[in-house]
Amino acid sequence: MTATNIDYDRYDHVRPLRWTGVALELLDQRVLPFKQEYRAFNGSDAVAGAIHDLVVRGAPAIGIAAAWGVVLAARDVQAASGTEALQQLEPALQRLNASRPTAVNLAWALARMRRVLASAGGDWQQVLEREAGAIEAEDLAANRRMGSLGAALIAPGSGVLTHCNTGSLATAGFGTALGVIRAGVAEGRITRVFATETRPWNQGARLTVWELQQDDIDATLIADSAAAHLLRSGAVQWVVVGADRICANGDVANKIGTCQLAIVARHYGVKFMVVAPSSTVDIATSDGDQIEIEERDPAELLSARGERTVAEGVRAWNPVFDVTPHGLIDAIVTEQGVLERPDADRMRQFHGG
């Protein structure tokens, strides 16, 4: 099977967001894999809360959710033009923007909503709804394109390791890194898939291996701490991950633990691929030191499934993203193409800025 004739119905079963015309329904990712529950959100602050609480998560998906959040906020606004509406909507936009700090897709989607609003006339509410729909549809198309581009880098018969969840659950569908893996499996290039647990929230254990199971893709879960041992074994030729922000010099913020995978991959001669739509590229941020890294409640480290596992009084630190320096990255794949050995010059040529 070639990249151009992947059966997307066969390889893409899960949808994290559903716009009903009156509400945004989100597949609650806090309770997967054992409960598959869509929850309806009717207002923008409720959507901001859902993003903050990880009901919906993954950089592209939170951007799309925020765009629909703006559409919901618009329901409470009476205005004769887009510019007038924008003034009234600005506080809601800022609350959406503040719901999570690291993934640039959130600010990117809100900037797109502001831009169309600024030039809209009396039909500004329909304009907003069309734009949110376009953001979602373009993300799905970008993922399918990246799947083909990324898979083409992988030699037939390869093994891959992925981290966190970058699949349909984290996007409009198909996924970024997991899209490459779907395409690579469909084409027979990938014959072994490994996924990390991704402590402490367990996106890999709870979401990625479940999502792959929905597509009948065989995957093996490993403890985060087993990664070096696995890469040393020769079973893996590519580590394939997503991104929350790609800086002007090619540094990449992604789920905590990504940087140590890149270091180990380089040590053992395993290639390292970052897959993300161009909405994740942030040319305005020069390098990884400038990225705000989200820190979440240390309680995530102190208990498992609601039961405390750590002695009372112990302190914990819970940064949930890290920065992989561009020098450790072999390829960045966006829907615009493949950038090998990214650095500031190549990023400028490829992504402008």
Contact 178, 168 (CB under 8 A): yes
Name residue 296's beta-bridge partners.
none
Smaller CB separation from ligand MRU, 319 or 353: 319
Per this entry, what is the length of the chain?
A: 353
The Cα–Cα gap between 86 and 233 comes to 56
* Residue 245 lies near ligand MRU (rule: CB under 6 A): no
Out of 158, 168, 171, 334, which residue is the one contacting ligand MRU (CB under 6 A)? 171
Residue 164, interface with ligand MRU (CB under 6 A)?
A: yes
Q: Scanning residues 201 to 220, which ones bind ligand MRU (CB under 6 A)?
A: 203
Q: How is residue 206 written in tokens?
A: 């709870």
Q: How far is the CA of 318 from the CAs of 199, 201, 299, in angstroms?
A: 10, 11, 9
Least distance in angstroms from the C-beta of 154 to ligand MRU: 18
Spatial contact of 35 and 61, defined as CB atoms under 8 Å apart: no
As measured in angstroms, the least distance from the Cβ of 86 to ligand MRU is: 28
Residues 126-155 close enough to bind ligand MRU by CB under 6 A:
none
Question: Judged by CB, which is closer to ligand MRU: 44, or 279?
Answer: 279
Which residues, 40 to 79, sit near ligand MRU by CB under 6 A?
57-60
Contact 248, 287 (CB under 8 A): yes
Q: In DSSP terms, which residues pair with 308 in a beta bridge? A: 303
Other CB atoms within a 10 A radius of the CB of residue 42 amount to: 11
CA 137 – CA 177 distance, rounded (Å): 18
Count of residues touching ligand MRU (by CB under 6 A) = 17
Q: Which stretch binds ligand MRU (CB under 6 A): 120-128, 210-218, 240-248, 343-351?
A: 240-248
**Shortest distance in whole angstroms from residue 323 CB to ligand MRU:** 12
In whole angstroms, the minimum distance from the beta carbon of 252 to ligand MRU comes to 10
Q: Any contact of residue 93 with ligand MRU (CB under 6 A)?
A: no
Rounded Cα distance, 165 and 56, in Å: 12
3-state secondary structure 120-150: CCCCHHHHHHHHHHHHHHHHHHHHHHHHHHH
Cβ distance to ligand MRU smaller for residue 146 or 347: 146
Return the SS3 of 49: helix
Write out the two tokens for 34.
């054992």
Q: In the complex with ligand MRU, which residue's Cβ is closer, 63 or 82?
A: 63
Q: Is 123 a catalytic residue?
A: no
Which helix (H) or strand (E) covers residue 212, if one does?
A: helix 209-214
Write each residue from 281 to 320 as x if it is in contact with ligand MRU (CB under 6 A), else as -, in one continuous string: ---------------------------------------x
- Residue 234 or 319: which CB sits closer to ligand MRU? 319
Taking CB under 6 A as the binding criterion, the range among 170-178, 182-190, 215-223, 302-310 that sits at the site for ligand MRU is 170-178
Least separation in angstroms between residue 82's CB and ligand MRU is: 30
Q: Residue type for 114, please?
A: R
CA–CA dist 110, 130 (Å, integer): 14
Bridge partners for 319 per DSSP: 295
Is residue 242 near ligand MRU by the rule CB under 6 A? yes
Q: Does 196 bind ligand MRU (CB under 6 A)?
A: no
Which is catalytic among the residues 28, 139, 215, 244? 244
Whichever of 57 and 145 has its CB closer to ligand MRU, that residue is: 57
Nearer to ligand MRU, 50 or 320 (CB): 320
Helix axes 104-118, 82-97, angle to 10 degrees: 170
Q: Give the DSSP letter of residue 285.
A: S
Q: Tell me the one-letter amino acid at 315.
A: R
State yes or no: residue 176 binds ligand MRU (CB under 6 A): yes
The residue nearest ligand MRU at its CB is: 242
189 is a site residue for ligand MRU (CB under 6 A): no
d(CA 132, CA 150): 27
Return the active site residues. Answer: 244
What does the binding site for ligand MRU look like in residue numbers (CB under 6 A)?
57-60, 103, 164, 166, 170-171, 176, 203, 242-244, 254-255, 320
